[in-house]
Chains A and B, each alone.
Chain A
Amino acid sequence: KQEVTQIPAALSVPEGENLVLNCSFTDSAIYNLQWFRQDPGKGLTSLLLIQSSQREQTSGRLNASLDKSSGRSTLYIAASQPGDSATYLCAVSEAGNNRKLIWGLGTSLAVNP
């Protein structure tokens, strides 16, 4: 059974720091991996989607990498800002059913001015 783990559960950094959030999954037979952001009391916003055949995706200050063989993905945030404070969630869809997502519990990020 696929399991998704995100470490750390919480992270506090000063503004301007570059940081890495980690996501690991137990079954490498994935269709894609997605990173989302959730602000308190709000819905989820899609940040990046990496297909299983891809190694990384970039959007602005965000870069997500995927190492399927080791079951790992990282979300790199460059030059962090207080507005980046949120919970970041990763989710994988499996090759056998690419419409069902299996979710991690998220990393709660606080960027301090």
Chain B
Amino acid sequence: DAGITQSPRHKVTETGTPVTLRCHQTENHRYMYWYRQDPGHGLRLIHYSYGVKDTDKGEVSDGYSVSRSKTEDFLLTLESATSSQTSVYFCAISGPLNTAGGTQYFGPGTRLLVL
């Protein structure tokens, strides 16, 4: 298994509070991604990073920000959590396209409940 960990694995928070989720990899891969998974919507990309300090928005980026100060860490921040952000959050990584074609490898997920 690819070395990807997410923390925390579970979190309950209140509306309006900031929340930061962490993704840590030991594979030295350049690309990292944050997704959310919701019933009926499947997986949706929030933000992704193509290098240290290089990030871009995905399809559902409103209300989320990210930071990547080191290759191994990619942080997702909910500036002011809302109930609509209750979801399961997955981090993924991928390597060069000439290695496994850019296959994405996923972390175990973080279950976030916003009350």
Smallest CB-CB separation from B43: which chain A residue? A103
**Residues in chain A near residue B83, CB distance under 8 A:** none
How many residues from A make CB contacts under 8 Å with B?
21
The answer, yes or no, to whether A51 is at the interface (CB within 8 Å) is yes
How many residues from B make CB contacts under 8 Å with A?
24
Contact of B105 among A42, A46, A100 (CB under 8 A): A46
**Residues in chain A near residue B50, CB distance under 8 A:** 99
- Please provide the chain A residues from 65 to 113 with a CB less than 8 Å away from any CB of chain B in the complex: 89, 91, 93, 98-101, 103-106
- Asked, given contacts A42-B109, A43-B108, whether A104 binds B42 with beta carbons under 8 Å apart, the answer is yes
Assembly CA distance A101 to B93 (angstroms): 12
Contact of B102 among A32, A43, A89, A105 (CB under 8 A): A32
Complex contact A44–B103 (CB within 8 A)? no
- What 12 new A-B contacts, CB under 8 Å, besides A91-B43, A99-B48? A32-B101, A34-B103, A34-B104, A36-B106, A43-B90, A43-B107, A44-B90, A46-B106, A49-B100, A51-B101, A100-B48, A101-B104
Nearest 3 Cβ contacts at the A-B interface: A43-B106, A44-B106, A103-B43
Jot down 15 A-B pairs with beta carbons below 8 A, ordered by A.
A34-B103, A36-B106, A42-B109, A43-B106, A44-B43, A44-B90, A46-B103, A49-B100, A49-B101, A49-B102, A89-B42, A93-B102, A98-B97, A98-B102, A99-B48
